[in-house]
């Protein structure tokens, strides 16, 4: 048996209006968990989750906005070296779709040019059983698709609640991230040539074996 | 594929006719600024104004203890006086300083040579720190970064080379890239000097409780360190300069033995913690970047952030604060205000509490040059420190000039360029500027000379050539590090941008009134009487080149707000995000837990920098030099 390829680290940032389900989406992805009344923030730093796409293993480092988007106070640090972004809106809330457009624009200005962006219309569960006459849906699939096409984004409709399409978002992003970009100098957590010091290793116990691998 | 000229179908045309009701989509006017215009909270426990490093650490520490914090800044960027700015931001900042709108800064000058065609640059490629700092590998801030997990937002790079300029010569350097014993062997030292040095190093690494050491320190604590090193260890000037001004980063000849010993030790115990280097720099910017990290941590813990916001009124009786966005928030406990964010209506209160405080000037000169300056950096590094000890410059400088050099690989400027951050604590501002310019010229000359040497190097397949008379001539003597005196550079260094300014602070350059603050000498401990003591003012950044003092100040404010600093960052973050990691819903090749956070044991043990500086405590477990074997 050959050793699995080392995981490629990918920084992924979440953007979108408050309460569209950014954190729920990520929680569903990383823990297959959905909490009805969850706290509006996740974790102390960021969540990590590995995802295998074909031969590649991608390790997502998922950064939540931690509420700093609310008053347009996201720091440059948030966008820096992000290789992927998920812009989330709520398909039952048209205002959130407008804001999604804003965040896409913001990403084009702040983030690196080759960032992979997915536009995600969340809360699909709310419209799943709707009839045409009486629908909670306020943003059509076509409208979402239209924006995605216009801006060159991936597009998904998801439900963090039922987990519908959630994994597909991350697999979709992973397959679109170019090999070259993920092997670039901005790789996270890798002993590399740009001299990044690994503060996670116990300095009295170096070198740290690659053997915390459970395989 | 659609041709370029073909009109895109409008949203309405592309929209299917059935399942969509257009009227509910709000007007697109909201696209530019969809954020909520005013604060949507009606109360908080603590209001912090200014997102500088100390204030950001404070916000995070309070938040993690469950205190509801509202953190604002009157700028549209994070960092306040310790911000990392682009060139465009810096231009604007200079204008603001010179218009008198930024208290505690003055005399800002920005020089960008050439026109748009001759000096092309992209402002956003630069991250220029207003108060640049380096991090010792064993320091309280690093320990906190690890404990709080804020380090996860940051990248650190090593800095090994500390150069000291001496006898008009730049080649004396402390390079720690080889091995710890070689720190001083860059120049050939006599056996006697070596022996004296080793004796001193052993002394300094001895436990402070050791009775012999203790007595020597008590007897000599107030003696000037140069005198002490000569008298006690027979050290000579070159070594003293290296120890005191380079390794120790002391700033003048008045430095007393106690302080100098603590600072030299700070270097030595930091060596070999993460590798053979004593300090690190954070990528993309120093304090400005770390501030953002702590703000993010605070946000995760529940702090509300709103930039571009200032306080316009506060009523101490109703405790209602009014902001320029029109919102009103009740402040249950305290207001913490950074010196650059003091609102007009509190100006007289601020003047009152700072009236009798001693003010110190820090003069800075920052130059972005089109050279990567690799010749000054260790192989794996992208930064270096250059120190001009007192009286080493033609200006006969009384205070040392300290310079941090960072090239493109640290993310603060493009590849092939570097930024020279220099500063001095000279209080005579004219002299300060002359000292900094003089240091700049010396560095420029040295760099150009080395570049010239490299040019000649292209021809030297053999070290010697024959002269017309047939005698061999050594052609490559440039590299032998002789004095700069006879070197007249033919070319000038290409400059992208040069910025100079003066910063005022009440923090003593030796940090004494931060580590041992009293109500007489530190503004944090002053009471603003007619505001019912609800208002606290913080300090401007100090002249200190390291991050020492920042945590002490954050703790000081924390203590004043909560009554005690015992639970300062008393939070256990262990494993709360690794939980998810072993649980892979895709059942892909799960390699197990990814990031194991083990705080470095030596950093966990790192005592407060306060202790490191005053050197009142010790930790024997750390003998980076193997001091026992060093006795020659």
Give A181-198 pLDDT, tens digit per residue: 544 444 444 334 467 788
CA gap A19, A92 in Å, rounded:
12
Of B176-185, B208-217, B279-288, give the range with the top mean pLDDT: B279-288
* Shortest Cα–Cα distance, B269 to chain A (Å): 13
Give B424-475 pLDDT, tens digit per residue: 999 999 999 999 999 999 999 888 877 666 544 433 333 333 334 443 333 3
Q: Which residues of A touch B11 (CB under 8 A)?
A: 143, 146
* Shortest Cα–Cα distance, B299 to chain A (Å): 5
pLDDT at position B28 is 34
Give A133-157 pLDDT, tens digit per residue: 678 899 999 999 999 999 999 999 9
Give B22-62 pLDDT, tens digit per residue: 333 333 333 334 445 677 788 999 999 999 999 999 999 99
pLDDT at position A158 is 96
Q: Is 0.90 surpassed by the pTM of this model? A: no
Q: Which of residues 75-134 of A touch B (CB under 8 A)?
A: 75-78, 80, 94-95, 97-99, 101-102, 105, 132
User: Cβ(B401)–Cβ(B366) under 8 Å?
Assistant: no
User: Which pair of tokens denotes residue A22?
Assistant: 């950014």
Q: Which residues of A touch B20 (CB under 8 A)?
A: 140, 142-143
pLDDT at position B585 is 38
CA gap A191, B478 in Å, rounded:
37
What mean pLDDT is predicted for residues A29-56? 70
Of A120, A121, A101, A103, the closest CA to residue A111 belongs to A103
What mean pLDDT, rounded, does chain B reach? 80
Give the residue, B240 or B360, on which the prediction is more confident. Answer: B360
3-state secondary structure of B227: helix
* Shortest Cα–Cα distance, B437 to chain A (Å): 31
Task: Answer yes or no: is pLDDT of A9 > 70.
Answer: yes
Task: Answer yes or no: is pLDDT of B144 > 90.
Answer: yes
What mean pLDDT, rounded, does chain A reach? 80
**Quick one: angle between helices B53-64 and B287-300, nearest 10?**
20
Task: Answer yes or no: is pLDDT of B18 > 70.
Answer: no
pLDDT-derived band at A44, boundaries 50, 70, 90:
low
pLDDT at position B272 is 84
Q: Taking CA atoms, what residue in A is nearest to B152?
A: A45
B12 shares contact with chain A (CB less than 8 Å): no
3-state secondary structure of A159: strand
B586 shares contact with chain A (CB less than 8 Å): yes
pLDDT at position A115 is 94
Of B180, B190, B181, B183, the closest CA to residue B164 belongs to B183
Q: Which of residues 112-151 of B touch A (CB under 8 A)?
A: 142, 145-146, 148-151
What mean pLDDT is predicted for residues B504-520? 95
pLDDT at position B497 is 95
pLDDT-derived band at B178, boundaries 50, 70, 90:
very low
CA gap A15, A12 in Å, rounded:
10
- Who contacts B114 (Cβ-Cβ below 8 Å, separation ≥6)? none
pLDDT at position A206 is 41
User: Cβ(B31)–Cβ(A101) under 8 Å?
Assistant: yes
pLDDT at position B608 is 39
Q: Which of residues 50-69 of A touch B (CB under 8 A)?
A: 50-52, 57, 59, 64, 66-69
CB-based burial of residue B234 (10 Å sphere; 0-12 exposed, 13-18 middle, 19+ buried)?
middle
* Shortest Cα–Cα distance, A57 to chain B (Å): 8
Q: Look at B586 and A101 and tell me if their CB atoms are within 8 Å.
A: no
Which of B317-321, B423-427, B530-534 shows the lowest per-residue confidence on average (mean pLDDT)?
A: B530-534
Which of B74-83, B470-479, B535-544 shows the lowest per-residue confidence on average (mean pLDDT)?
A: B470-479
Task: Answer yes or no: is pLDDT of A174 > 80.
Answer: yes
Q: Look at B591 and A4 and tell me if their CB atoms are within 8 Å.
A: yes
pLDDT-derived band at B349, boundaries 50, 70, 90:
very high
pLDDT at position B187 is 55
pLDDT at position B455 is 47
Give B93-140 pLDDT, tens digit per residue: 999 999 999 999 999 999 999 877 888 999 999 999 999 999 999 999
Q: Report the b/e string of B104-115 with b at 16+ CB within 10 A.
A: bbebbebebeee
Q: Taking CA atoms, what residue in A is nearest to B72?
A: A73
A202 shares contact with chain B (CB less than 8 Å): yes
Which of A137, A194, A212 lies at the smallest CB-CB distance from B19?
Answer: A137
Give the residue, B39 or B625, on which the prediction is more confident. Answer: B39
What mean pLDDT is predicted for residues B391-419? 96
Q: Look at B409 and A195 and tell me if their CB atoms are within 8 Å.
A: yes
Q: Can you list the domains of chain A with their CATH numbers?
A: 8-190 (3.40.50.300)
pLDDT-derived band at B594, boundaries 50, 70, 90:
very low
Task: Answer yes or no: is pLDDT of B422 > 90.
Answer: yes
B572 shares contact with chain A (CB less than 8 Å): no
B18 shares contact with chain A (CB less than 8 Å): yes
A135 shares contact with chain B (CB less than 8 Å): yes
Task: Answer yes or no: is pLDDT of B384 > 60.
Answer: yes
Of A104, A124, A101, the closest CA to residue A116 belongs to A104
Q: Can you list the domains of chain B with their CATH numbers?
A: 43-86+286-358+506-562 (3.50.50.60), 105-125+360-505 (3.30.519), 134-280+602-632 (1.10.405.10)
Give the mutation candidate from B20, B26, B284 for the A interface (greatest A CB count, under 10 A). Answer: B20
Q: Which residues of A touch B382 (CB under 8 A)?
A: 194-195
Q: Taking CA atoms, what residue in B is nearest to A130?
A: B19
Q: Look at A98 and B25 and tell me if their CB atoms are within 8 Å.
A: yes
pLDDT at position A176 is 92
Beta bridge partners of A9: A59
């Amino acid at each position: 048996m050959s050793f699995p390829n080392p995981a490629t680290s990918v920084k992924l940032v979440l953007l979108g209006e408050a309460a569209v389900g950014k954190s729920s989406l990520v929680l569903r992805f990383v823990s297959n968990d959905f909490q009805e009344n969850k706290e509006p923030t996740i974790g102390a730093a960021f969540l990590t989750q590995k995802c295998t796409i074909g031969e590649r293993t991608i390790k997502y480092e998922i950064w939540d906005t931690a509420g700093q988007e609310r008053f347009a106070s996201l720091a440059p640090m948030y966008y820096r070296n992000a290789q992927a972004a998920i812009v989330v809106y709520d398909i039952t809330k048209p205002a959130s779709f407008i804001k999604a457009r804003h965040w896409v624009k913001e990403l084009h200005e702040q983030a690196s040019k080759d960032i992979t962006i997915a536009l995600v219309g969340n809360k699909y569960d709310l419209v799943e059983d709707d009839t045409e006459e009486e629908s909670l849906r306020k943003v059509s699939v076509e409208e979402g698709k239209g924006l995605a096409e216009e801006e060159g984004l991936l597009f998904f409709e998801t439900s963090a609640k039922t987990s519908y399409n959630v994994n597909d978002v991350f697999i979709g992003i992973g397959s679109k991230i170019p090999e070259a970009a993920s092997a670039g100098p901005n790789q996270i957590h890798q002993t590399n040539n740009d001299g990044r010091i690994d503060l996670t290793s116990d300095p009295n116990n170096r070198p740290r074996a690659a053997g915390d691998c459970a395989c | 594929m659609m041709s370029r000229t073909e009109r895109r179908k409008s949203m309405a045309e592309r929209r299917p006719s059935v399942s969509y009701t257009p009227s509910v989509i709000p007007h697109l006017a909201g696209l530019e600024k969809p954020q909520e215009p005013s604060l949507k909270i009606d109360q908080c426990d603590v209001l912090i104004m200014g997102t500088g490093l100390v204030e950001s650490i404070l916000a995070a520490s309070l938040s993690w203890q469950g205190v509801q914090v509202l953190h604002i800044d009157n700028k549209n960027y994070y960092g306040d006086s310790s911000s990392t700015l682009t060139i465009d931001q810096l231009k604007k900042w200079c204008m603001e300083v010179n218009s008198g709108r930024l208290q505690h800064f003055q005399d800002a000058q920005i020089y960008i040579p050439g026109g748009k065609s001759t000096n092309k640059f992209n402002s956003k490629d630069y991250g220029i720190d207003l108060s640049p700092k380096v991090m010792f590998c064993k320091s309280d801030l690093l320990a906190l970064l690890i404990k709080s997990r804020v380090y996860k937002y940051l990248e650190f790079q090593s800095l090994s080379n500390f150069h000291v300029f001496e006898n008009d010569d730049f080649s004396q350097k402390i390079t720690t890239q080889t091995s710890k014993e070689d720190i001083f062997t860059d120049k050939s030292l006599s056996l006697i000097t070596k022996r004296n040095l080793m004796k001193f190093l052993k002394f300094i690494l001895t436990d402070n409780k050791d009775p012999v050491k203790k007595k020597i320190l008590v007897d000599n604590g107030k003696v000037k360190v140069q005198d002490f090193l000569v008298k006690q260890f027979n050290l000579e000037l070159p070594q003293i300069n290296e120890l005191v001004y380079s390794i120790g980063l002391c700033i003048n000849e008045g430095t007393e033995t106690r302080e100098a010993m603590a600072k030299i030790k700070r270097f030595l115990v930091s060596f070999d913690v993460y590798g053979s280097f004593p300090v690190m720099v954070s990528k993309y910017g120093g304090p400005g970047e770390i501030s953002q990290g702590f703000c993010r941590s605070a946000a995760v813990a529940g702090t509300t952030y709103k930039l571009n916001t200032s306080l316009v009124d506060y009523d101490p009786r109703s405790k209602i604060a009014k902001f320029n966005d029109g919102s009103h928030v009740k402040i249950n406990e305290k207001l913490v205000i950074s010196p650059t964010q003091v609102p007009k209506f509190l100006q007289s209160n601020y003047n009152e509490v700072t009236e009798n405080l001693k003010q110190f000037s820090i003069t800075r000169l920052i130059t972005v040059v089109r050279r990567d300056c690799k010749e000054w950096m260790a192989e794996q590094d992208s930064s270096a420190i250059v120190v001009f000890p007192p009286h080493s410059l033609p200006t006969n400088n009384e205070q040392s000039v300290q310079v941090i050099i960072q090239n493109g690989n640290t993310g603060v400027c493009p590849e092939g360029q570097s930024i020279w951050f220099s500063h001095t604590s000279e209080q005579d501002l004219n002299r300060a500027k002359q000292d900094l310019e003089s240091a700049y010229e010396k560095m420029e000359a040295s760099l150009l000379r080395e570049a010239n040497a490299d040019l000649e190097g292209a021809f030297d397949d053999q070290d010697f050539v024959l002269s017309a008379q047939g005698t061999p001539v050594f052609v490559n003597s440039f590299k032998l590090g002789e004095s700069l005196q006879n070197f007249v550079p033919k070319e000038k260094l290409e400059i992208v941008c040069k910025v100079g300014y003066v910063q005022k602070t009440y923090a003593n350059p030796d940090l004494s009134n931060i580590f041992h603050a009293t109500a007489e000498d530190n503004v944090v401990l002053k009471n603003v009487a007619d505001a019912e003591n609800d208002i606290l003012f913080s300090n401007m950044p100090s002249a200190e080149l390291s991050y020492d003092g920042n945590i002490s100040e954050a703790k000081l404010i924390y203590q004043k707000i909560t009554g005690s600093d015992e639970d300062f960052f008393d939070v256990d973050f262990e494993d709360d995000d690794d939980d998810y990691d072993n649980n892979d819903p895709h059942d892909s090749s799960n390699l197990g837990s990814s990031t194991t956070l083990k705080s470095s044991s030596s950093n966990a043990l790192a005592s407060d920098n306060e202790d490191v500086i005053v050197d009142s405590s010790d930790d024997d477990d750390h003998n980076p030099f193997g001091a026992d074997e060093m006795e020659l």
